[in-house]
């Protein structure tokens, strides 16, 4: 079965019930093996963050991994980490563990929220913007 479909189903069930039940946990372990455990460690260590900008209401999700902070786009299941670029984009995996952490952290309500003014948006997103090409 499609990994992203399993993740979305368990995420939705977790949101609905307010907790991750044993069946959902088992489905995630079977689908993701050690990536699930790595993701849940990040959730438990409060390494999932949500930045909310005012007055626009824009939201950025960030997950702190082993080698830095990565932006996660939950709707498209995208992450700015190297694992995503090398393994997900090549078809070896469907999601990295940062995406699993964001999805489950949000569903469980285990994430940090930071409210910022829209004027801070460029400062926060500049971490994931490539430098200009040198000519």
Asked whether the beta carbons of 104 and 63 are under 8 A apart, the reply is no
Q: Do the domain assignments include residue 129?
A: no
Residue 97 included in any domain: yes
What is the count of structural domains for the chain? 1
Domain that holds residue 55: 3-113
Would 55 be classed as within a structural domain? yes
- Cβ-based burial of 95 (10 A; exposed 0-12, middle 13-18, buried ≥19): buried
Residue 120 falls inside a structural domain = no
User: In whole angstroms, what is the distance from residue 82 CA to residue 72 CA?
Assistant: 12
Q: Is residue 23 part of a domain?
A: yes
* pLDDT tens series, the chain, 135 aa: 688 999 999 999 999 999 999 999 999 999 999 999 999 999 999 999 999 999 999 999 999 988 889 999 999 999 999 889 888 888 888 899 999 999 999 999 999 999 999 999 988 888 776 666 666
């Amino acid at each position: 079965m499609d990994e992203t479909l399993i993740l979305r189903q368990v995420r939705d069930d977790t949101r609905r019930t307010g907790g991750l039940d044993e069946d959902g946990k088992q489905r995630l372990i079977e689908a993701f093996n050690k990536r699930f455990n790595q993701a849940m460690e990040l959730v438990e260590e409060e390494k999932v963050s949500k930045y909310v900008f005012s007055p626009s209401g824009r939201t950025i999700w960030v997950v702190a991994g082993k080698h830095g902070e990565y932006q996660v786009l939950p709707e498209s299941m995208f992450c700015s980490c190297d694992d995503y670029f090398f393994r997900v984009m090549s078809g070896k995996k469907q999601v990295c563990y940062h995406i699993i952490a964001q999805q489950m952290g949000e569903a469980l309500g285990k994430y940090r929220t930071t409210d910022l003014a829209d004027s801070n948006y460029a400062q926060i997103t500049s971490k994931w913007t490539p430098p200009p090409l040198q000519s």
